[in-house]
Amino acid sequence: MLKVGIIGCGSITVWRHAPEYHNNPNSEITMFYDAVELRAKELANQYNSSWCSDYKEIINNPEIDAVSICTPNETHAKLTIEALNAGKHVLCEKPMAISIEDAVLMQKVANENNCKLMIGLSQRYFITHQKAKEILTTGLLGRVISFRGAFKNHGPDFWSVDKNKNNWFFDKKKSGAGALGDLGVHKIDLLTWLISDDIEYVNATNVTLDKKDDLGNFVDVIDNSFCTLTTKSGIVGTIEASWSCYGNCENSLIIYCENAIMYLSPEEQDDIVIVMKDEMPIRISTKANKSQSELSNSGIIDEFISSVMENREVAISGFDGIKTISIINACVESSQKEGIRTKVKSINELLNIS
């Protein structure tokens, strides 16, 4: 039985971490912590667990094997490193860190302590995307030529635990790259995983188009990001992230291949549609015969638990997290230079490996 402590009791814990640890027969939530004690108390009562007023009680608790870090982005590195140094395995929410230096250090500390570090890039584990990976691997669709992805929603003033204009997501020091780091990071990681190719160059425009503080001033973080990505093999496509999509949330990816187009829409009933050359669309519902609990399970917590229990490599490591931050940083740099083409630093460059 894996005994877990959860640091941070915001929306991601309420929707994902707490219920998914609770529903997994191989894990038990030992303790919750949040800077707002009431949130930790409420979850502790809901899941018949305990809570603490100091996160160090979780990190220093010898009975706790693993920790979920679900706090504001600026604290990810500090808390993860403390937990790893205490011998805990860590599942850290995305983005892994705000700075690339912190991200590299996190993985280094994990290696030094022989602890597992997994990053919560959960879109890989959507059943839609698992099936898409399987289809692409067969080669049926042929070579990938291009792509177009989008992840857009109302923004954290609608869905975060603090539904107001002054929550931490709109504080650049705490949030970092705003919508790009919150939503774009998912699509960037998903895309590179699906096509098994690294991003080498980016051109980006990052703007604040809509979100304002209580005084009516634009917030100081990105609320819309438009990125053109070029892979090492020459595939070119776009990724968009937005916190100002006030209709239905858009969470989609289109992959253009030499034999077909594959449309991925996890929110739709027919979540995969493949249009072959000169043929009728092939509609696939990965949701058929799935229970509601299966459909609502992100899969990321189950994967983390099994990797620790089986003592194997995690599926989404700190190295994966470092890659996404390197791409995000390049997009930020490109936008600051009015969209000029910017090279993404490779993992070898970042780790100073010759």
% of the chain exceeding 90 in pLDDT? 89
**Lookup: tokens for 307:** 């990797």
Q: Quickly state the pLDDT bin for 292 (edges 50, 70, 90).
A: low
pLDDT at 81 over 50: yes
pLDDT tens digits, one per residue of 234-270: 999 999 999 999 999 999 999 999 999 999 999 888 9
pLDDT at 353 over 70: no
Domain span(s) for CATH 3.30.360.10 in the chain: 126-287+322-343
Which of 98-102, 190-194, 349-353 bottoms out in mean pLDDT, i.e. has the lowest? 349-353
pLDDT of 267 reads 86
pLDDT at 276 over 80: yes
pLDDT of 328 reads 98
**In which residue are the tokens 């949030």 written?**
175
Domain span(s) for CATH 3.40.50.720 in the chain: 2-119
- Average confidence (pLDDT) over 290-318: 90
d(CA 351, CA 346): 9
d(CA 308, CA 90): 10
pLDDT of 108 reads 96
pLDDT at 117 over 90: yes
- Per CATH, the homologous superfamily of domain 2-119 is NAD(P)-binding Rossmann-like Domain (3.40.50.720)
Length of the chain: 354
| Bridge partners of residue 342, in order along the sequence | 202
pLDDT of 12 reads 96
Higher pLDDT, 347 or 41: 41
- Average confidence (pLDDT) over 165-186: 95
- Average confidence (pLDDT) over 163-180: 93
pLDDT of 146 reads 98
pLDDT of 354 reads 37
- Average confidence (pLDDT) over 62-88: 98
**Lookup: tokens for 265:** 């829409």
For the chain, the three-class secondary structure string (H helix, E strand, C coil) is CEEEEEECCCHHHHHHHHHHHHHCCCEEEEEEECCCHHHHHHHHHHCCCEEECCCHHHHCCCCCCEEEECCCHHHHHHHHHHHHHCCCEEEECCCCCCCHHHHHHHHHHHHHCCCCEEECCHHHHCHHHHHHHHHHHHCCCCCEEEEEEEEECCCHHHHCCCCCCCCHHHCHHHHCCHHHHHHHHHHHHHHHHHHCCCEEEEEEEEECCCCECCCCCECCCCCEEEEEEEECCCCEEEEEEECCCCCCCEEEEEEEECCEEEEECCCCCCCEEEEECCCCCEEECCCCCCCHHHHHCCCHHHHHHHHHHCCCCCCCEHHHHHHHHHHHHHHHHHHHCCCCCEECCCHHHHCCCC
Topology adopted by domain 126-287+322-343: Dihydrodipicolinate Reductase; domain 2 (3.30.360)
Q: Quickly state the pLDDT bin for 152 (edges 50, 70, 90).
A: very high
Verify cis geometry, omega within 30 degrees of 0, for the bond prior to 281: no
Which of 12-16, 124-128, 171-175, 265-269 bottoms out in mean pLDDT, i.e. has the lowest? 265-269
pLDDT of 165 reads 82
